[in-house]
Structure 1
Amino acid sequence: MGTIAVIGAGQAGLVLSAALLRAGWRVTLYSDRTADDHLDDRGRPTACLFGDQVEYEADLGLSLWPEASRVRRIHLDLFTDDRSLAFSVDAPLRKPALAVDQRLKFSAGLREVERRGASVVIGTVGVDDLDRLAASHDLVVVTAGHKSLTGLFERDPVRSVHSEPQRSLFMVNIHGYDMAARPEHREGVFSFLPGTLEVFWIPFFDKDVGESRSIVVEATPGGRGDRFGDVTSADEGLEVLKSVVDDLFPHESEFLRPARATSPVTWIKGQIVPVVRKPVAVLPSGRHVLGLGDAVVLNDPLAGQGANNATRMARFFAEELAAHEGPFTAAWLTERFDEWWERGCYTSDFSNGLLAPLNDEQKTVMLAASRREDIGEQLWEGFNDPSSLFPWFFDAAATREFLARRNVGRLDLLRYKLGVGANLLGQKASRLFRRPLGGTATP
């Protein structure tokens, strides 16, 4: 087998290294941080892995936290602009999901691949270093977007849809919440106010406290939920989050009110410009390197695909590299990426599709899923395998065919919609009934 230099000890780098070590390759893994540095790092993205990716990590021997809670169901609440709950979707996942603190994963993973025989080198890698490594290895794979490598991989204008951020992001890990107030939070919970805000409440295994919840906020820039721009600490961000929840998702207020951040560093804010880059970069010497993971495909976190996509990509290329006989030419690597993209494109299409406003057909599917658990299960499978959502969740004719095959007809949909309408009227009447008149609440 060959020799490979892997740049970056994140999700893609560790999975690729473990897979190629198992296949008999000689692996040198370059990390800009030691295992202890990873443990002492700031909070990192939630990075919830779904079904197939959880299983693949376990197959590679990288699932090292059996005590971490698995997510087996997702509960989604869809709200209207006046804070009314339109409907909820509650359905099982076909395979469990798992979210473990990446500080734990990357620290333990770095030690584990070294124990298995990888040479681990700590330090920053620049373009000159890549040239040297490309001359001494059969292949160099860049899996991390280090500042020293900014611009290495050219943006692909055909596969890249966006040129500006589509969401303002905030994440914080919490504990001390009131589970009795919202038992739904024993599993994954999504709160959506279309066009304004999406909040994901993910069961999480935190480095410092263990069982916890990682909350990911995706706010439409300039909208009512976009309030985190001036946040400077975890505690401050959590207070802003509580205010946002009180205003837009008040049914979550009791659950969140007693919560505390798991540590001062377990929070993130910012914006991401989704981008797809060309997979092969040519170095000044004329040698080339391959890009994987976020180095070449960066999606908005809305669809939860970052770590999942990195795992799928690393798995595909580990299998292709191990089976290949001959040099890893730029043309061959590009062909393999194009082959991967035939399926990998669905991940970006899924992520970009969720960034767009929900269309009528998608709302109809979600409404049907609120009444039919089997449809909800099919919908959630998209987080594990985005290709399973196509074309039926993104094409109107395919949506109608999908529902018809499941015996959901026009009369059923009319009945569902009438039920939602009656529910919304009931909520509005309840609020009016409770509203104080002349300073005195009505009985």
Structure 2
Amino acid sequence: MRKITIIGAGQAGLQLGIGLLGQGYAVRIVSNRSAEQIGAGRVMSSQSMYDMALAFERELGIAFWDDECPPTDGVHMRAGSGDQLLIDWRGLMGAPGQSVDQRIKMPVWMAEFQRRGGELVIEDAGIPELERYAQSSDLVIVSTGKGEIGKLFERDNDLSAFDAPLRTISLTYVHGMKPREDFSALNISINPGIGELVNFPGMTLSGPCDIINLECIPNGPMDRWHEVQSQEEHLALAVQMIEEYFPWEAERCQNLRLTDDQCTLVGRITPTVRKPVGYLPSGRTVLGMADVLVLARDPTTPASAPTSTCNASSTRARRPSTTRGRVPLSRAIGTTPNGWPSSPTPICCCLPSRYSRCSAPVAACRSWPRTSPTPSTIRRCSPPGTTTARKPSASSPPSTAKPPEGEP
């Protein structure tokens, strides 16, 4: 039986591990925190999940909160400044979304992983530990980019367009938000040139709640989180910013209170794409996935968790086939019949109805053809109206294939 070691017990690592167990692999997951430590720790994300990502969890039988987590039934987007709204639209989604605090979710998944026969190891994994696991495993997958192991994966300068954070993100879990009168929603508010407010219902340790993300343009008028010294000050500043910059949401936020004593977070990251294979000092290789490879959004934001879920599902679907400890790139990632890379990581979370309209500059996307691709049809996720094709290798013949009619 082939053995796979996964470094990181988060949304991607645990979901991949559970999926690989079901495919007959022996799987070890290494976490730097126990289930008890995660449950007693600080919030990690806002993890807003929607139909496509939730379907992957249901397929594995690990969507344990469908009956108790408050649903997100629709979307409401508004943009403007002051009392003047330039955009105001809303609508129901085809299927509800949900957000379950990872302090609830990850400990349950860790227990389920062990119940299904997985090996869970609690230790800080650095380079020496990766060397040991690479020697004893058929494949090592790194799903956490923290510390020295994240530096194993070289920055992809062709895909990394930014050298500074685009937002400072504030995360707050609250009780007491006034319910909407029509339907529960993913509420997106934009104040151009200032920042954004995103809020939606969720479930946390103390029950149903609302989750607030304030996304502040660095050095702008909302970028004031360095002033905060306590959780109470954090909440007060969040309410003040909502009243000042998103007044259409202020009425719902008059009686907010914190859900617990570790329910706030502030962070900023520089959007970065890294190459998928890391090289250990011994020459052995490890495969990256999820936040290790694509930091397109801050992990605290709603999009981080579904992106990790899609990444785990994509990696699992390719059924890793490797040589113990020394994984040639062509085998670790896989190739198409034309010799083009068919990387299982990273994959973005795109709208199911239009896979080609992704905004994150990641290296693989569901817009890729399911059949044998050609250089002209292999595309990275790009902003609407742009197409980026991989450069063919010297051995690849030029292709005369054209994109499907109507595609950019």
TM range (shorter): 0.7 to 0.9
Alignment match, 2:42 = 42
Q: Which residue of 2 aligns with 1:375?
A: none
> Which of the residues 302, 305, 309 maps onto 2:303?
305
- Amino-acid identity (%): 29
Higher mean alpha-carbon deviation, 107-116 vs 342-351, is at 342-351
1:376-404 deviation digits (Å, cap 9, x = unpaired): xxxxxxxx9899xx9997239xxxxxxxx
Give the corresponding residue for 1:394.
384
Q: Please name the residue that 2:77 is paired with.
A: 76
* Bigger CA radius of gyration: 1
Kindly state the Cα deviation for residue 199 of structure 1 after the two structures are TM-superposed. 0.6
Q: 1:229 to 1:22 in 2, by over 3 A?
A: same
Asked whether the equivalents of residues 52 and 95 of structure 1 are also in contact (C-alpha less than 8 Å), the reply is: no
Q: Is the counterpart of residue 280 in structure 1 residue 277 in structure 2?
A: yes
8 Å Cα contact 1:305/1:351 also seen in 2? no
SS in 1 for 2:226: coil
1:305 Cα offset (Å)? 2.6
1:344 to 342, 347, 351: 347
Question: For residue 332 of structure 2, what is the aligned residue in structure 1?
Answer: 333
TM-score, normalising length: structure 1: 0.75
Q: Normalization by structure 2: what TM-score? A: 0.81
What letter is aligned with 1:108? V
Q: Contact (CA 8 Å) 2:307, 2:349: kept in 1 or not?
A: no
Question: Against the structure 1 CA distance between its residues 3 and 277, is the aligned structure 2 distance closer, same or farther, given a 3 Å change threshold?
Answer: same
Question: How many angstroms apart in 1 are the aligned matches of 2:237 and 2:357?
Answer: 31
User: Where does 1:82-101 land on structure 2 (aligned, <5 Å)?
Assistant: 82-101=82-101
1:219 partnered with 2:216: yes
Q: Deviations over 1:231-250 (max 9, x none)?
A: 23222111111111111122
Instruction: Write the mapping of 1:63-142 to structure 2, written as runs, cut at 5 A.
Output: 63-65=63-65, 66-79=67-80, 81-142=81-142
Aligned residue number for residue 234 of structure 1: 231
Aligned to 2:13: 13
Q: Secondary structure of 2:16's match?
A: helix
Is the CA contact (8 Å cut-off) linking 1:316 and 1:340 kept in structure 2? no
Task: Give me the whole-angstrom Cα distance separating, in 2, the residues matched to 1:343 and 1:31.
Answer: 21
Distance 1:186 1:195, change over 3 A: same
Alpha-carbon distance in 1 for matches of 2:183, 2:221: 24
Match of 1:422 in 2: none
Distance 1:270 1:83 in 2: 29
Aligned equivalents of 1:295, 1:276: Cα separation in 2: 8
Task: Compute the displacement of 1:86 (Å).
Answer: 1.8
Following TM superposition, by how much is the alpha carbon of 1:343 offset from its aligned partner in structure 2, in angstroms? Answer: 8.7
CA distance in 1, matches of 2:18, 2:127: 25
CA offsets 1:47-87 (integer angstroms, 9 cap, x no match): 111211101111112111120022120111111x3431123
Q: Which has the higher helix share?
A: 1
Q: Which digits, 9 at most, give the CA deviation of each residue in 1:27-55, with x for residues without a partner?
A: 11111111111100111110111211101
State whether structure 2 residue 55 is matched by structure 1 residue 52: no
- State how far apart, in whole Å, the 2-side matches of 1:275 and 1:133 are: 27
Partner of residue 441, structure 1: none
Mapping for residues 118-267 of structure 1, pairs under 5 Å: 118-179=118-179, 182-183=180-181, 186-207=184-205, 209-267=206-264
Q: Which amino acid aligns with 1:28?
A: R
1:27–1:137 CA distance, 2 compared to 1 (3 A):
same
- Opposite residue 293 of structure 2, the aligned amino acid is V
Task: Report if the CA contact (8 A) 2:72-2:185 is conserved.
Answer: yes
* C-alpha separation in 2, matches of 1:147 and 1:333: 23
Q: Quote how far apart the aligned CAs of 1:335 are.
A: 4.4
How many matched pairs? Answer: 360
With over 3 angstroms needed to count, the CA separation of the structure-2 counterparts of 1:169 and 1:391, relative to structure 1, is closer
The structure-2 alpha-carbon separation of the partners of 1:33 and 1:199, relative to structure 1 and needing over 3 Å to count, comes to same
Cα deviation for residue 183 of structure 1 reads 2.5
Which residue matches 1:417?
none
Distance in 2 (CA, whole Å) between partners of 1:118 and 1:206 is 27
